[in-house]
């Protein structure tokens, strides 16, 4: 299982992902699900991956190979962000079909991606690329996208995230959403990766890789628990109290 | 879809359920999912129902019929709360088998129940009765049980609920958990029913039936949103801020 999300606010983009992979409950590993493609000053992409690990690794390898071949369709040559989403969707669906053609069982080879970034001269944005290869983008009314185990961490995003949120505040909101998910589902786990992108910078911004016992991460989790307790105490009392 | 939960604290029990039923997305109705069986001064049961509506209605009807027949195994004659859970599990599994035997399609007749209450001379408790007819009870470490669309509303329960929580505070926590779920999933909807049971009373306590525009319910939802905003503002800032 995975939980990953991206938020698009006026100042830029926030990317956040867990690092737990599992094949059943007795084969747990740590793999980064956050992958960046940076051509400094020209284009910046961040790809968050979820689903079948063989598929996501094959997609990533293919994306890297393509960027190494000048003139080929790649993240260095796609004209727009939506063209990048389309290109990734095509590769992902292609790899899933190839894997299925070798399969004697009914294995699920599906993978889902969040792609975000900016190309010089274009506006930044985020896309969710489905296993079928199609995709959606965020909207001003719904400025975040999630993949994987999305439900535990969605209420806080629904209540707090809007386009005008300062970038760091959106980052804190992503951390809290991730922390709530990790507390409720063993299949989502640290380290947590958190990456900021500032509009127009065309390079990655601040990056954090937070272990479960990281002092800053613990202070955020503890502060949030205390804040919820205060909010709970401030709720209106029942008529008979 | 349904969301219902029960919390067991030292002072008593809290029951909370939504009222939305759906057959697909174009056939939405309102049905109460909270059912009480009260023999004042002797025994009190509250049953929260989720799953196939024909199954849950048939189970309820059978429970009512049995209580009307003196001497028969019924909620009036079961010796303990666990025996009540076993009896309901038996009836539910029985009705599902009967319905399946008539079925030409592959219809899902499953139903899940939360049973809570107290029998004179016994301690109160809550049970989750699975479609298979088996059941689990809460524990001191995990003093709540949920059915239906449980994920959106679980993080707040995980962080706040413990056995020593005052009864009304547990009730507010249940309301917030329900409100978060309703905001995130259209298939869970008002009116919300909230019932308190005080240990040893052997009769239902305070009861609220809250429409979406109920002023008290709105004040709880608004206060919670404000409390979360304050908690968010109080989070530790990132090292570079």
Collect all residues with Cβ–Cβ distance below 8 Å to A130 and sequence separation of at least 6: A89, A112, A136
Question: Is B230 in contact with A227 (Cβ distance < 8 A)?
Answer: yes
Q: Is residue B241 part of a domain?
A: no
Q: Confirm if A100 and A136 have CB atoms less than 8 A apart.
A: no
- Return mean pLDDT, chain B: 95
For residue A122, what is the DSSP state?
Answer: S
Q: Is residue B17 part of a domain?
A: yes
Could you give the CA distance from residue B110 to residue B108 in angstroms, rounded to a whole number? 6
Interchain contact A234–B (C-beta under 8 A): yes
ipTM for the complex shown: 0.91
Q: Which of A180, A232, A241 to mutate to test the interface with B (most CBs of B within 10 A)?
A: A232
Q: Taking CB atoms and an 8 Å cutoff, what residues of chain B touch A176?
A: 232, 235
DSSP one-letter string for B43-81:
EEEEEEEEE-HHHHHHHHHHHHHHHTSTTSSSTTT-SSH
pLDDT, tens digit (0-9, with 9 covering 90-100), for A83-115 = 999 999 999 999 999 999 988 888 899 999 999
Report the CATH number that the domain containing residue A156 is assigned in CATH: 3.60.20.10
Domain of residue A46, residue span: 3-229
pLDDT, tens digit (0-9, with 9 covering 90-100), for A70-86 = 889 999 999 999 999 99
Q: Which of A7, A144, A151 to mutate to test the interface with B (most CBs of B within 10 A)?
A: A151
Q: Taking CB atoms and an 8 Å cutoff, what residues of chain A touch B151?
A: 151-152, 184
Q: Is residue A174 part of a domain?
A: yes
Could you give the CA distance from residue A38 to residue A195 in angstroms, rounded to a whole number? 13
Q: Is residue A235 part of a domain?
A: no
Q: For position A27, what pLDDT does the model report? A: 81
Q: Is residue B240 part of a domain?
A: no
Question: Is B228 in contact with A229 (Cβ distance < 8 A)?
Answer: no
Could you give the CA distance from residue B17 to residue A67 in angstroms, rounded to a whole number? 54
pLDDT, tens digit (0-9, with 9 covering 90-100), for B178-235 = 999 998 888 888 999 999 999 999 999 999 999 999 999 999 999 999 999 999 999 9
C-alpha to C-alpha distances, B11 to A104, B32, B168, B186, B225, nearest whole angstrom = 57, 26, 9, 33, 28
Q: Is residue A239 part of a domain?
A: no
Domain total of chain B:
1
Q: Is residue B183 part of a domain?
A: yes
Is pLDDT above 90 for A134?
A: yes
Could you give the CA distance from residue B229 to residue B224 in angstroms, rounded to a whole number? 9
Question: Is B168 in contact with A241 (Cβ distance < 8 A)?
Answer: yes
Q: Is residue B239 part of a domain?
A: no
pLDDT, tens digit (0-9, with 9 covering 90-100), for B20-64 = 887 777 788 889 999 999 999 999 999 999 999 999 999 999 999
DSSP one-letter string for A165-200:
S-HHHHHHHHHHHHHHHHHH-TTS-SPEEEEEEETT
């Amino acid at each position: 299982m995975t939980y990953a999300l991206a938020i698009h606010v006026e100042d830029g983009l926030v990317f956040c992902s867990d690092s737990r992979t599992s094949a059943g409950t007795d084969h747990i590993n740590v793999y980064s699900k956050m992958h960046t493609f940076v051509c400094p000053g020209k284009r910046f992409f961040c790809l968050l991956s979820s689903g079948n690990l063989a598929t996501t690794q094959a997609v990533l390898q293919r994306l890297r190979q393509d960027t190494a071949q000048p003139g080929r369709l790649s993240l260095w040559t796609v004209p727009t962000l939506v063209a990048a989403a389309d290109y990734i969707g095509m590769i992902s669906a292609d790899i899933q079909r190839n894997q299925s053609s070798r399969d004697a069982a009914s294995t699920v080879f599906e993978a889902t991606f969040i792609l975000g970034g900016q190309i010089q001269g274009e506006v930044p944005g985020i896309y969710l690329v489905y296993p079928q290869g199609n995709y959606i983008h965020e909207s001003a009314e719904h400025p975040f996208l999630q993949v994987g185990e999305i439900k535990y961490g969605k209420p806080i995003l629904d209540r707090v995230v809007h386009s005008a949120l300062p970038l760091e505040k959106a980052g804190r909101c992503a951390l809290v959403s991730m922390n709530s998910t990790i507390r409720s589902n063993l299949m989502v786990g640290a380290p947590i990766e958190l990456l900021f992108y500032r509009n127009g910078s065309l390079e990655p911004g601040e990056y954090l890789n937070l272990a479960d016992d990281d002092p800053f991460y613990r202070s955020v989790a503890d502060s949030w628990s205390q804040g919820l307790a205060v909010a709970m105490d401030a709720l209106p009392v029942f008529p008979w109290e």
